[in-house]
């Protein structure tokens, strides 16, 4: 173990070592191979969608020598190895796989223990006995034992379970079992827990599904005035606790990750007692996190996950989360983005402890840069970007690397004063040009930019880099848990190198997997391009997965947060989450919140011949399917008159047994109104286009029609029903993973937006406001199943949730389709 003195410039990271790859197979062979180890189709497809997972998984299958197939349980473990085995210990992987194929390691807890064992020993050799002890090899846990421990845990927590019933955090109960029986099979434990809970509580009742009453505001710890409790989304009510993996500062957290040197020794970032004491004095042992967006674009659904992780952990632990603008690149950043971020963080329900900017620390960062130069850990360089690149490739030192400290100090001062031209000098950290990790190749700390800064103004013409700034500001803000996405893992050595060189407190860094969703792109660079080149209608285009786009589309923060909570906080790389999953969550939310109304998208005129021209009946329709007759506010008035419009797709010239709509001579029920029978068809001149229908209604409602359809009617003679515009949205990209395509723009779905300029709506909609959401109801399921394709969307186009768009005016309402009612997401599948 290395001591924590300032560094020889030797930190490297063996995470870069790649696994030995088997010969490249084609996709079909790989698919076969993945299915042969018992993976389900979806997991196999997801694996194939990611080149890294594909190559890891094939390598693992070959190393495990199960090319000819294996048991499904083993296959699933192999998949976990392929996605999660620590990169720093790949040399042990093949040997480890034998434990799986021989059945000595057979469940997820053992696997996780093995991963953390290997992650801590890295590439160095290990003691098998020690390993087996650590991973419970040979330990058999019987169902009886599990049952006993579950019983004891339930007994221990009985009063809380009885009080909270099915809202109890089962994750905590399971955690207690795991403590007693670390090697028990998770699935069996969960099943046993569910059974015993059901035995104690009886079956779930409707009351159990009601929304829990919010907990009272907790007392804020004395050291700050933060208020995280009032509006923040609830992060405590669901089954498993996504934050359980994070260390507890109550237990004096120490940074426990290892960084590997090229000579094979391991260095643990570790705070000295004094540094830790000072840090704890500030934090009072509370959790401090930060959400650090760069204001170079609008936030997207991935940021919703990042917010959930950092704000959520702080909330869960009664701590504090900063909103920190990571604003070190004035060329890409704009006030518009700063304003948007603050507003959308608030919309998502998160309350920052403080709003800070990296640029608030420009002076401290500059002073520290001088210290760094004085310590011999930074130098002014004059290489061009191309030279830097080629020197890095050949691991060669810059010719300026060993210039005298005094010279660098003088030049850095000149840089600050604007005496050196842009591009003619940079300040570089003197890290390790021989490292295996390119993130240690003397990263740039400062560059010259004669660009004013959106927050700091024109005070500076040198700006610190992300790599230089992020760790220092984390440290200055006393962040306890610096949580970021996995692509930053490789930058960890540099993060700690700099803090160590400056003798600053080391926060605990932890990475989690980046959220990706099918049929869309999330990188800000790509989003920027879509917006800039007008492939979409701005950052808040409802087809984008930006938070502003989702909001405009009708998504709610509750649904988005429920979705990211369900996705979970894991380190499994390459997980592409299906779009259907987020749709499932918005549907669940809107089902509770959206009033039902009738809108006809593609109207077909029906004249009711046995009605007088000037008669208008005001009928009563329900906003909510289960509205009681006595609840006035749950109903609305809908005029019924001689001219009615129905959906064209609800009429067919040829009737059939399984058809529930209108046809010549057939009767259908108009929802909330009367049965009508089609008695005549009026054709256009071409003799085939149906212009209108003639019908007769049955005021006594004595006929029993087969189907029920929706409609709107003239509110008075000769006046058209309310005209509205409806925008239908489909997936923005045709392929599931457009980011992997070279020409990703060519994959844009040409039919992702279709505007129906003149749909007809019931009059009550006239009073809708921007953001209101509705279900355009369509009634009889059997009708839907057989209805014709309408505008290429099929039946679900009509039975969908819609919200009022901001483009609406007093003259014209515009609706966006949020999501159709059809739910193809299967929750158990997990993805
Ligand atoms: P992009 O690649 O989209 O430009 P970024 O990482 O540069 O994203 P930032 O604004 O710097 O975007 O990100 C702020 C925080 O959000 C960071 O901690 C980052 O790790 C996290 N984040 C960004 N994208 C995702 C994502 N897809 N899933 C989860 N977290 C994300
Ligand atoms: Mg970034």
- Low-confidence residues in the chain, pLDDT < 50: 1-25, 213-239, 261-265, 779-798, 825-831
Distance 316 CA to ligand 1 centre (A): 22
Which ligand places an atom closest to the C-alpha of 295?
1
Alpha-carbon separation of residue 59 from 24, 412, 481, 690, 777 (angstroms): 10, 49, 34, 62, 52
pLDDT of residue 221: 32
Which ligand places an atom closest to the C-alpha of 474?
1
Distance 328 CA to ligand 2 centre (A): 10
Residues 6 or more apart whose CB falls under 8 angstroms from that of 673 comprise 619, 638, 640, 697, 711
Burial class of residue 614 (count of CB atoms within 10 Å of its CB; 0-12, 13-18, 19+) = exposed
Q: Is residue 581 classed as helix, strand or coil in its secondary structure?
A: helix
Which ligand places an atom closest to the C-alpha of 577?
1
The residues that are catalytic are 294, 514, 524
**Does the reported pTM lie above 0.85?**
no
pLDDT of residue 480: 93
Q: Which long-range contacts (CB under 8 A, 24 or more apart) does 158-166 make?
A: 158/200, 161/197, 161/200, 161/201, 162/200, 162/201, 165/201, 165/208, 166/197, 166/201, 166/204, 166/208
pLDDT single digits (tens) 240-284: 677 777 776 655 555 556 666 444 445 677 788 888 889 989 999
Residue 305 Cβ contacting ligand 1 at under 6 Å: yes
DSSP letters for 167-189: GS-HHHHHHHHHHH-TTS-HHHH
Contact 25, 56 (CB under 8 A): no
The DSSP letter of residue 344 is H
The DSSP letter of residue 489 is G
Number of H helices, E strands in the chain: 25, 30
pLDDT of residue 260: 60
CA distance 284 to 127: 40
Distance 488 CA to ligand 2 centre (A): 10
Radius of gyration of the chain (CA): 32
pLDDT, averaged across the chain: 85
- How many other C-beta atoms lie within 10 A of the C-beta of residue 4? 17
Burial class of residue 491 (count of CB atoms within 10 Å of its CB; 0-12, 13-18, 19+) = buried
* Residue 134 CA to its chain's centroid (Å): 34
Contact 113, 72 (CB under 8 A): no
Contact 389, 442 (CB under 8 A): no
The strand pair at 516-517 and 444-448 is best described as unpaired
Candidates 291, 296, 514: which one to mutate for ligand 1, based on the most atoms within 8 Å of Cβ?
A: 514
CA distance 97 to 93: 6
Task: Write out the two tokens for 615.
Answer: 């008669």
Distance 577 CA to ligand 1 centre (A): 16
Structural domains in the chain plus CATH codes = 143-204 (1.10.10.2420), 360-469 (3.90.800.10), 524-593+725-761+799-829 (1.10.1160.10), 603-721 (2.40.240.10)
- The residues whose Cβ lies within 5 A of ligand 2, an ion, are 294
CA distance 820 to 394: 55
Nearest residue by C-alpha to atom 14 in ligand 1? 293
pLDDT of residue 23: 35
Nearest residue by C-alpha to atom 2 in ligand 1? 523
Residue 306 Cβ contacting ligand 1 at under 6 Å: yes
Atom of ligand 1 nearest to the CA of 514: 28
Distance 303 CA to ligand 1 centre (A): 6
């Amino acid at each position: 173990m290395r001591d924590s003195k300032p560094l020889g410039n030797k930190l490297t990271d063996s995470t870069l070592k790649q696994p030995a790859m088997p010969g490249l197979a084609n996709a079909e062979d790989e698919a076969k191979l993945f299915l042969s180890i018992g993976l389900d189709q979806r997991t196999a497809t997801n694996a194939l969608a990611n080149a890294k997972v594909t190559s890891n998984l094939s390598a693992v299958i070959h190393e495990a020598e199960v090319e000819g197939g294996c048991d499904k349980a083993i296959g699933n473990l192999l998949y976990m190895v392929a996605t999660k085995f620590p990169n720093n210990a790949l040399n042990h992987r093949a040997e480890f796989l034998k434990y799986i194929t021989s059945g000595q390691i057979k469940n997820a807890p053992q696997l996780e223990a093995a991963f953390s064992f290997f992650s801590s020993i890295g590439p160095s050799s290990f003691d098998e006995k020690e390993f087996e002890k650590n991973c419970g090899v040979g330990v058999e846990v019987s169902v009886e034992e599990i049952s006993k421990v579950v019983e004891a845990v339930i007994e221990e927590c009985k009063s809380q379970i009885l009080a909270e019933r099915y809202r109890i955090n089962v994750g905590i109960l399971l955690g207690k079992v795991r403590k007693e029986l670390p090697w028990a099979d998770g699935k069996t434990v969960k099943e046993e827990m569910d059974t015993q809970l059901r035995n104690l509580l009886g079956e779930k009742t409707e009351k159990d599904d009601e929304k829990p009453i919010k907990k009272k505001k907790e007392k804020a710890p004395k050291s700050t005035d933060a208020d995280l409790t009032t509006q923040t989304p609830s992060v405590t009510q669901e089954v498993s606790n996504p934050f359980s993996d994070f260390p507890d500062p109550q237990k004096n957290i120490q940074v426990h990750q290892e960084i590997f040197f090229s000579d094979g020794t391991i260095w643990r970032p570790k705070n000295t007692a004094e540094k830790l004491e000072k840090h704890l004095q500030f934090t009072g042992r509370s959790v401090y996190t930060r959400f650090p967006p760069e204001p170079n674009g609008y936030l997207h659904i991935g940021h919703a996950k990042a917010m959930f992780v950092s704000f959520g952990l702080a909330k869960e632990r009664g701590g504090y989360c900063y909103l920190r603008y990571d604003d070190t690149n004035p060329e890409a950043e704009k006030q518009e983005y700063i304003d948007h971020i603050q507003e959308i963080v608030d919309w998502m329900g998160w309350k920052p402890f403080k709003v800070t900017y990296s640029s608030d620390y420009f002076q401290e960062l500059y002073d520290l840069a001088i210290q760094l130069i004085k310590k011999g850990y930074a130098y002014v360089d004059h290489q061009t970007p191309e030279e830097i690149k080629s020197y890095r490739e050949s691991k060669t030192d810059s010719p300026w690397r060993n210039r005298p400290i005094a010279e660098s100090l003088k030049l850095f001062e000149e840089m600050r004063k604007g005496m050196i031209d842009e591009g003619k000098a940079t300040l570089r950290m003197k890290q390790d040009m021989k490292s295996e990790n390119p993130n240690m190749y003397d990263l740039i700390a400062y560059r010259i930019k004669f660009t004013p800064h959106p927050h700091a103004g024109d005070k500076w013409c040198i700006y610190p880099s992300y790599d230089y700034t992020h760790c220092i500001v984390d440290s200055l803000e006393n962040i306890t848990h610096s949580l970021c996405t996995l692509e930053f893992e490789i930058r960890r050595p540099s993060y700690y190198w700099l803090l160590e060189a400056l003798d600053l407190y080391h926060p605990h860094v932890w990475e989690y997997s980046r959220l990706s969703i099918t049929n869309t792109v999330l990188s800000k660079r790509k989003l920027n391009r879509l917006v800039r080149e007008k492939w979409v209608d701005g950052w808040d285009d409802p087809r984008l997965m930006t938070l502003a786009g989702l909001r405009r589309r009708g998504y709610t923060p509750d649904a988005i947060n429920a979705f990211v909570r369900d996705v979970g906080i894991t380190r499994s790389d390459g997980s592409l989450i299906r779009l259907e999953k987020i749709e499932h969550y918005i549907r669940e939310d809107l089902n509770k919140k959206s009033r039902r109304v009738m809108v006809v998208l593609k109207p077909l005129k029906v004249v009711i011949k046995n009605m007088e021209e000037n008669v208008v009946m005001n009928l009563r329709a329900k906003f909510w399917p289960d509205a009681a007759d006595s609840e006035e506010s749950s109903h609305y008035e809908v005029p019924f008159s001689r001219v009615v419009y129905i959906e064209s797709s609800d009429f067919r010239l040829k009737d059939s047994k399984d058809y529930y709509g209108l046809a010549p001579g057939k009767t259908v029920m108009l929802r909330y109104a009367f049965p009508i029978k089609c008695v005549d068809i009026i054709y256009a001149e071409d003799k085939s286009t149906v212009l209108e229908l003639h019908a007769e209604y049955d005021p006594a409602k004595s006929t029993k029609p087969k189907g029920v359809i929706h409609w709107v009617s003239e509110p008075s003679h000769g006046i058209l029903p309310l005209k509205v515009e409806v925008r239908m949205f489909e997936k923005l990209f045709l392929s599931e993973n457009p980011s992997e395509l070279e020409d990703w723009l060519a994959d844009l779905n040409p039919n992702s937006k279709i505007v129906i300029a003149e749909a007809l709506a019931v009059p009550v909609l006239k009073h809708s406001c921007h953001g209101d959401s509705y279900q355009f109801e369509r009634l009889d399921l059997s009708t839907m199943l057989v209805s014709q394709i309408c505008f290429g969307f099929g039946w679900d186009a009509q039975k969908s949730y819609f919200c009022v768009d901001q483009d609406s005016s007093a003259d014209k309402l515009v609706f966006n389709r949020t999501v159709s009612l059809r739910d193809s997401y299967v929750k158990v599948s997990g993805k």
